[in-house]
Structure 1
């Protein structure tokens, strides 16, 4: 039997994971009331566990087995003794969290495992969006379950769009890092259209002698802006502190996108991040309700 003390320890465990592993995410959720903050930490901790399966240096067969185990754990959450699952199960009793979205995340990570095994590529942007919807739109919908919002049938789709926007920023920021492990998320159709063949030089820097990759990244950054524009229509449907949380998380990623759009070559040899001061300023504006 799970006691209140077990649940409190489970939330503490999830909060510790979130604070250490997700600084951008924690900047946003620190603006929430405690009950919502710890619920989102539980959501993050489980999502991170699932996502990490795809990134671990393990054979694909082991990753598939781990994903199968994750699916079983999701179906047995109410009887689990694992602290992350205890916290998520409790949060789901308190808030209308769409738990099937975790299964979508598992399916998205399974695509990463397939990519590792077969060197699979995304043929076009539509196919990439379907992947982003699984691995990031699902997170948007899970967060919305905790935030709550005014009744609007569009709300889940707007949360989905915001998650897709954030994932596109991740993809642009991590082109070089992903390529070092054999992953390519840029749609093949776009690579072909710009005549880009992704490759690294001897220093591990992306090669772009004719500036075609920079031009492609610039175009894809504008595409991501469209998704941000759609997703940020969610904010007026949220209460003030939830809107501040959501606005902070999206604002940090918009800040990264602005840097990439201003100089696409920045992603060629580094993993971009914003300074603590810049993030704090974004959080302050979001809390004051100032649109970025």
Structure 2
């Protein structure tokens, strides 16, 4: 098992960073749960290095350098924690580098033109997380299982993009492809002025439909997982998908209001998933 203090540090980081993930993954057996905490914490550091560099202990370049020389890395609880998880599960480093390459895109590209660009971004920053976690949760994941994990990550990233439209706009970012906006007659002028009209709702629904396709693929092999791992993935997907329902209840006001799934609502979803 991971050292108690290291495990606690990673647990706190996950609990503070993502209520949905924390509530979903806490039902795993201890070793798997701690491994997920470690992976989440490293991804959080990568994300913070880009979005909140003034508060981050490392730059993205420093994180990559330390990860490349993981055996020698020190100075933060994440390095011994990562050594433990990589060695315990004999993990491939490739998805972690992919994650960093996706976050690096935020330096170079603030607005997206095509659906293909958006899908590539979603794969890098979130599909990669699916690749990281599947070997923790599944005893013998084949390529189809790995691809379903990637799809689940991409679905969740679409939800993130919808939920965070207002916050991202303040940072000068627009992840919604111009290609989709033009399809429904929603202009860049409308976007800059935070217009919520029928074309905007159609744009968001288009993204929701894509996310739902990826959610379906993401859960296609759920029956092949151990029971607790399967419950965890279903919970994570359900909690995230519920954010969309809150967006709809808020009448698609995503510029000024962040959709939040309350703990009470999560508990109801948990009961629905486990009542049988």
TM-score under structure 2 length normalisation: 0.90
Of the three residues 210, 228, 250, the one matched with 2:237 is 250
Deviation of 1:287 after TM superposition, in Å, equals 4.5
Residues 1:75 and 2:68 are matched in the alignment: yes
| Aligned residue pair count | 272
Distance change (3 Å), C-alpha of 1:163 and 1:151: closer
CA distance in 2, matches of 1:54, 1:221: 26
Q: Report the counterpart of residue 213 of structure 1 in structure 2.
A: 200
How far apart in 2 are the matches of 1:93 and 1:264?
47
Using the alignment, how far apart are the partners of 1:278 and 1:150 within structure 2?
33
1:46 aligns with 2:69: no
Give the 3-state SS of the residue equivalent to 2:59 in structure 1. Answer: helix
2 CA distance for matches of 1:145 and 1:97?
Answer: 8
Is it true that 1:29 corresponds to 2:25 in the alignment?
A: yes
Judging changes above 3 Å, is the alpha-carbon distance between structure 1 residues 96 and 284 closer, same or farther for their aligned structure 2 residues? farther
Matches within 5 A, 1:89-238: 89-115=83-109, 120-196=110-186, 197=188, 198-199=190-191, 201=193, 206-208=194-196, 210-238=197-225
The structure-2 alpha-carbon separation of the partners of 1:172 and 1:29, relative to structure 1 and needing over 3 Å to count, comes to same
Distance 1:254 1:247, change over 3 A: same
Matched, 1:241 2:234: no
Q: CA deviation at 1:259?
A: 3.5
CA distance in 1 between counterparts of 2:240 and 2:113 reads 25
CA RMSD of aligned residues (A): 2.3
Deviation at 1:282, TM superposition (A): 2.3
CA contact (8 A) 2:14 2:22 kept: yes
Change (3 A) 1:254 1:143: same
The aligned counterpart of 1:66 is 59
Deviation at 1:133, TM superposition (A): 0.5
Find the counterpart in structure 2 of residue 13 from structure 1.
9
Shift of 1:124: 1.2
Asked if 2 retains the 8 angstrom alpha-carbon contact of 1:7 and 1:83, the reply is no
2:268 corresponds to 1:281 = yes
Q: CA deviation at 1:94?
A: 1.4
**Which structure 2 residue ranges, 5 or more long, are not aligned?**
none
After superposition, the Cα gap between the structure-2 partners of 1:141 and 1:90, relative to the gap in structure 1 and judged at 3 Å, is: same
Gaps of at least 5 residues in structure 1 are none
Instruction: Detail structure 1 runs of 4+ shifted over 4 Å in the superposition.
Output: 261-264
